[in-house]
Amino acid sequence: MNSISLAKYIDHTNLKPFATENDIVRLCEEAVHYGFAAVCVNPYWTATASNALRSSNVKVCSVVGFPLGATPTSIKVAEAESCLEDGADEIDMVINIGEAKSGNWDFVENEIRVLAELCKAYDSKLKVIFENCYLKKEEIILACRASVAAGADYVKTSTGFGSSGAVLEDVVLMVKEVAGKCKVKAAGGIRDKSTAVKMIEAGADRIGTSSGIQIVTPIVL
């Protein structure tokens, strides 16, 4: 896979708590230069990214309930609506992991549905982050089913802030379980071209990474 085609899969990410406005503007400039699919930023920087990318095809992705997922649904909705009003094309929302671990899948599905409907009202996409490092395989399957039933556009492996990130085995499982009814985003710990390509070959439609430039830039020896 060449660098140009690979770039189209990448969400160029800066979710660092110390990111400045200059950092976000540079992230956007890099995304345009390399042809990345989107930039992924914290909610506060959504408007900055949207303004910087106004004349480009690069999408603006904002995170919600990030990184723990343990905020009330009403707060996630308010956060998502703020991002959408500021120009977000995509929302990456973390599920309530505690409710998932408790087996309260009705809650998980209903929360996803509320966010999915909000995103659709803005003609935007919802990606649902599971944080797989905290879930058993059967819980990943149930999270996929809840996301599909609720109308999510993507399921996503990880925040990048958990104890581990994307695992190829999990991507294969998620792709199989959603069965084309939504897409899959692999994120967390993807820092080189080989790993990114393996995730894509396994069926991932997006790659979330802060190492996008490193991934698409040929190594010169």
Q: Which residues are catalytic?
A: 92, 156, 185
Nearest Cα neighbor of 92 from 132, 133, 62, 48 is 62
Tokens representing residue 122 in the block: 């803005």
| End-to-end CA gap in the chain | 20
Per DSSP, 57 falls in state S
Q: Is 106 exposed, middle or buried (0-12, 13-18, 19+ CB in 10 A)?
A: exposed
Tokens representing residue 162 in the block: 């958990």
Q: What does the H/E/C string look like for 149-208? A: HHCCCEEECCCCCCCCCCCHHHHHHHHHHHCCCCEEEEECCCCCHHHHHHHHHCCCCEEE
